[in-house]
Structure 1
Amino acid sequence: MRFIFRPPAAHAAGLLTLPWATPLEEWDDEHLLEVAQRGISRHVVRFVEADGMVYALKEIDERLARREYRLLGELEAMGMPAVSVLGICVERGGDQDAILVTRFLEYSMSYRYVFSLGHTHQPVDQLIDAMVELLARLHLAGLFWGDCSLSNTLFRPDAGSVAAYLVDAETAELHPSLTDGQRGFDIDYAVERVGGELLDLQAGGLLPAEVDPITVAAQLPLRYHALWDELTREELLQPEEQRYRVAERIDRLNELGFDVDEIELVTTDEGARLKVHTRVAESGRHRRRLFTLTGLEVTENQARRLLNDVVSHRAYLEQKEGRALPESVAAHRWRSEVYDKVMAMVPADLSDRLAPAEVFHEILEHRWFLSEAAGRDVGTTAAARSYVQKILPSTPKTLTVLPEGPGSAS
């Protein structure tokens, strides 16, 4: 057998003891896990734990495995929203397929899991919007997906919204840029697959009665084209409006979750033609700033929410102490006096429900509702205590379910 792993190679050490010579569906190993929120796959997929990390293993034709391994690695290097690949096991003998190893996307869910356990109040709109954003981001990067569907996407709560991640790249192709025909194929295919998947949910009684699968699927291209136009259209600007119109366009793209890579202004007899080159990687302005200030690694929407709370805490400290505080000092104190204190209130047996930053976001939302009801600000600590006691226990798990002992996985 041959193992090919990406850095850091130390993560692969614990995987080498697994029974790679045995067909994946026959594995009966103490490292195997059951993942409640897994999606439907046409291949044999198993989940394992090694050295404190969780991995997804997929048995697949060796040629496709090598291709997907390379492509997922390129997407990761580009900062795209996709699962992270660790390696492949090939040449297993006995004409067995290869095994592709990816890192389990923590706190992620399949679309079926989202609907079956009600992780969001508007699952249809949020999942479709998340898929449209993912598809547009992939297309900007020159990726032709070829198999765009809810089944091939993972979703993760993100500060009141949902973020989407590509999880299956078997049919994907990476090009310098895509033609309108390639993008159109992806969109048409997505409409067909999403409509079928929603009809399947409806047949299983998981779709709200007021939701029409065909209508929802038909909205996907409309939402996609509206976003694509916002991201790529050129504008003709007059000299006196250039400054504010450029700033307005950048702010709009930032609100949509995209960063600007380059701005191009071409002068013509009619005025200046504005072309904005949108960065293809996941937006990261707020994430980078929060990490610099606090050391916390979170998603972009979560970072935006937490930074707002840092600003509020800074204003509170300055008013209380009667002096100005540098942003770095206020952020450090927010981390130790607010965030860490709140997260310490979450019991260990509830830590698998949501990502820590998502829990903090929900506590802030809970604080707002409690304050509205009380007619005064109840404070973050009181809101956290109430949330942990009344809300978090009823939140479905979004992490792996560990087996009770060897052989319990199936």
Structure 2
Amino acid sequence: MPDRPATDLLNIEDQLTAEELQVRDKVADFVDRRVRPNIAKWYEDAVLPTELLPEMAELGLFGMHLQGYGCAGRSATEYGLAMQEMEAGDSGLRTVISVQGSLAMSAIYKNGSEEQKQKWLPKMAAGEVIGCFGLTEPTAGSDPSSMTTTARREGDEWVLNGQKRWIGLAAIADIAIIWAKAPTEDKDGNTTEKVRGFIVPTDTPGFKATVIDAKLSMRASQQCDIDMEEVRLPADAILPENPGLRGPFSCLSEARYGIAWGAMGAARDSIETILEYSAERLQFGKPLAGYQLTQKKLADMALELNKGQLLALHLGRLKDAGELEPHMISVGKLNNCRTAIEICREARAVLGGNGITGDYSPLRHANNLESVRTYEGTDEVHTLILGNKLTGIPAFR
């Protein structure tokens, strides 16, 4: 019998192909070598280890699920497995890949012109250009339709004004995909205001990104405020396809799918941590793992992990078959984030006082998951998406 992780109670590995296992193992090796030995210090110091970005690109992680343009062209399931391994290392580092590939690159891939794709995607896949995705605003989080960022047309230029908040990688990005309300002409020649995407080089005058400090979560990553004042862009900076919220929402679906996998990585790493710890930690003359209460906690956590992993795998198979629907992604994001954070919290409790130190991962994972649970749609938003699917009645307002 092949060696399997102790947490794999259902032989889930048997459902994976040799190619999928190869991708998983390659990313797991990277995490073991480059992330685990350093992540506690990076987290404590609130440092995004930018030296890892070229290595991530070399592994083919940037836009790895996109076809052509220098991208790896891997399957959705392979991408999901890679995100599970990256988040087993740290959610913040998995977010780097999500922002670059699922958001910034996907925005160009799904909504850009062929010229824009040829210009930017190969460089982004190679890590030569880093991107960010500016949708959320200080007063427009779960309701992006209320954004106040605007783009007006002046001759051969677009002029952007507004603010964005919680924008990953913005302070190190070379380009920003900025979503703004802009006048848009329909096929009948009528002009209405719609949300449009723009490719904004971050060295454009009037564009400023400021790192958000004093975070209690996602400390080994970077989130920023963006201020734009009379940012002037050429006419061809606009993403021509899919005007309206369909443009950014299709990118959010990509990111949410990756999160459904990634959260299970944080959960699995937490269980593996306490399996090792409880086998060695002696209390009242025997290992902590030998007590019934500890075994109950381990069993409960492993059950939820296996269910979440099977859910993520099912979503991957559906996505590869072209059958994944938006509400299904909400099932994965809502369930697996909620499950993962409870597993990580319970794992921290098994560690006792030692669990609040950086020597052990569960509390760091739990803190990170507070952010993961919030971005790309809060629990409440995904609950309402599913409620709408079940009843046919939208209850967002």
Could you say which structure has the greater relative contact order, defined with CA pairs below 8 angstroms and 6 or more residues apart?
Answer: 2
- When normalised by structure 2's length, the TM-score is 0.25
Larger radius of gyration: 1
